[in-house]
């Protein structure tokens, strides 16, 4: 089963750093990352999306990135329509995880200038390894579909920067 995890940060670079940390955990075999997207709101309040579309064959064979389709369609509707048909069935998976355009917009609007957020769709995670990888970062767990005990451990580690 896949889980959605959304974490926000007061720093524009931190979400990207977290994605790199999670990639390392994935390479060690401690997590399976189905998709990820980083949203950065610059000092002027402009939104920049860094999607995981570069994951190559894994994502490409499915017809595109789940989060890219959803987020790109929200902020760049014409580009989103270009992806449209190829990823239409994937939107259903996003809906199963509780992600819709309204939620993505809500997260983005909650970001202040000079901040960021990361959306992760993970499965088969070793919670201990994932939480250890996040210890250097300070963020706020915005939403998750994780088990309650894992969610609380993640909230705790994100509150205290090591």
Its domain, for residue 106, covers: 3-159
The helix (run of H) or strand (run of E) holding residue 19 is helix 14-27
Q: What is the pLDDT of residue 120?
A: 86
Q: Cα(146)–Cα(5) distance, rounded to whole angstroms?
A: 8
Domain count, the chain: 1
Q: Reduce the DSSP state of residue 39 to 3 states and report it.
A: strand
pLDDT by residue (tens digit) across 106-162?
888 889 999 999 988 888 888 889 889 999 999 998 877 777 887 788 788 778 764
Flag whether pLDDT at 71 surpasses 90.
no
């Amino acid at each position: 089963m896949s889980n959605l995890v959304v974490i926000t940060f007061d720093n524009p670079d931190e979400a990207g750093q977290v994605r790199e940390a999670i990639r390392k955990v994935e390479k060690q075999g401690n997590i399976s990352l189905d998709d990820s997207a980083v949203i950065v709101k610059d000092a002027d309040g402009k939104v920049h999306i860094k999607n995981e579309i570069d994951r190559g064959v894994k994502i490409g064979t499915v017809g595109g990135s789940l989060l890219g389709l959803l987020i790109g369609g929200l902020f760049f509707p014409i580009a989103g329509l270009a992806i449209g048909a190829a990823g239409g069935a994937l939107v259903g998976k996003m809906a199963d995880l509780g992600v819709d355009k309204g939620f993505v917009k809500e997260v983005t609007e909650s970001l202040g200038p000079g901040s960021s957020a990361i959306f992760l769709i993970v499965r088969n995670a070793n919670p201990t390894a994932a939480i250890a990888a996040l210890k250097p970062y300070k963020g706020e767990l915005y939403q998750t579909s994780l088990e309650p005990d894992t969610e609380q451990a993640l909230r705790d580690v994100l509150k205290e920067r090591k």
